[in-house]
Structure 1
Amino acid sequence: MTKCATCGNDYDKTFEVHMQGQSYHFDSFECAITALAPLCAHCGVRIVGHGVEQDGRIFCCAHCAKRDGVDGLVDRG
């Protein structure tokens, strides 16, 4: 059994995620999202979908980007 990198649960059905040269084991998608999903620079929500990005800042949507003073971004379809 392998321990979850987020919650420490020792579980026989963990899965491994490789990201930016590192590997992690998780027992649920919830734990993987908590550990790896970026936060919106405006509202702080975890970005599980595509998001939008400009100058190294990532937002959950174009609305949040605009609220943070970033113009010209559109949501991906």
Structure 2
Amino acid sequence: MATCVMCGNDYERAFTVRTADGEELVFDSIECAAHRIAPTCAHCGCRILGHGVVAEGSTYCCAHCAREHAGADISAHA
């Protein structure tokens, strides 16, 4: 069994994620993986689990946060 790097749970179905910089991390759940490796919105601080929005060099969870924080002229609809 492998131990989750986030919560310390020893779990037989743990999985390994290799990050872009080559670091290998073991997790017991997607929740633990998201808390450790998902980017954080520069405005509200939530974890970004989708594509997010990049504006003024920062990453946001949505167009609303990008407008509020960076004043970006971004719309959530085309």
| TM-based fold match above 0.5 | yes
Secondary structure, counterpart of 1:49 in structure 2: coil
Structure 2 gaps of 5+ residues are none
Aligned partners of 2:6 and 2:32 also within 8 Å: yes
Aligned partners of 2:63 and 2:75 also within 8 Å: yes
Structure 1 gaps of 5+ residues are none
Secondary structure, counterpart of 1:53 in structure 2: strand
Residue 49 (structure 2) aligns with? 48
**Are 1:69 and 2:78 counterparts?**
no
**Counterpart-to-counterpart distance in 2, 1:10 and 1:58:** 33
Query: TM (normalized to structure 1)?
Result: 0.88
Indicate how the Cα distance of structure 1 residues 23 and 75 shifts in structure 2: closer, same or farther if over 3 A, else same: farther
Query: TM (normalized to structure 2)?
Result: 0.87
Aligned partners of 1:15 and 1:27 also within 8 Å: yes
**Counterpart-to-counterpart distance in 2, 1:56 and 1:12:** 40
% identical aligned pairs: 47
Letter in 2 for 1:18: R
Letter in 2 for 1:8: G
Count the aligned residue pairs. Answer: 77
Indicate how the Cα distance of structure 1 residues 76 and 4 shifts in structure 2: closer, same or farther if over 3 A, else same: farther
Residue 13 (structure 1) aligns with? 13
**Counterpart-to-counterpart distance in 2, 1:28 and 1:41:** 25
Q: What is the alpha-carbon root mean square deviation over aligned residues? A: 1.8
